[in-house]
């Protein structure tokens, strides 16, 4: 890759808008589900899967299910994408409200 192309790619990556929203981790075998919120849905699955593979997830019930059923029985789903808010306060408040809504609707354990 040429230096100019590389710099342009890095600049484009830094300028991209994160996808904000609610996500679900589901165990296909047991049917258990865990729900969370993220200011960046593009990166959250990698973070969760990495911690689970290392056995260092802070969510004990999820880690236990991962060990029992194996990685191949887990899926990551985006439940809802939200519009980017100018204010981080409004964004965080909206994420909390939407998380509670989906948690009760899907009967999922919060992450």
At residue 84 the predicted structure's pLDDT band, cuts being 50, 70 and 90, is: confident
The domains of the chain, with CATH numbers, are 18-110 (3.40.1440.10)
Reading phi first (left if > 0) and then psi (alpha if -120 to 50, else beta), residue 107 is in left
What pLDDT was estimated at residue 18?
Answer: 82
What pLDDT was estimated at residue 37?
Answer: 96
Sheet holding 20-27, edge to edge: 74-82, 20-27, 33-38, 109-110
Share of the chain above pLDDT 90, in %: 73
Task: Give the Cα-Cα-Cα angle 38, 49, 32 (nearest 5 degrees).
Answer: 80
16 pLDDT above the threshold of 80: no
**Greater pLDDT, 49 or 13:** 49
What pLDDT was estimated at residue 75?
Answer: 98
The Cα 24–Cα 98 span in angstroms is 13
């Amino acid at each position: 890759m040429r230096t100019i192309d590389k710099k342009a790619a890095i600049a484009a990556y830094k300028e991209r808008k994160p996808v904000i929203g609610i996500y679900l981790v589901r165990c296909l075998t047991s049917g258990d589900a865990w729900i969370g919120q993220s200011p960046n849905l593009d990166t959250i699955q990698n973070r969760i899967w990495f911690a689970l593979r290392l056995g260092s997830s802070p969510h004990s019930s999820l880690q236990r299910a991962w060990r029992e059923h194996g990685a191949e029985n887990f899926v990551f789903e985006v439940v809802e994408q939200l519009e980017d808010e100018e204010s981080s306060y409004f964004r965080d408040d909206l994420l909390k409200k939407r998380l509670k809504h989906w948690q009760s609707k899907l009967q999922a354990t919060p992450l």
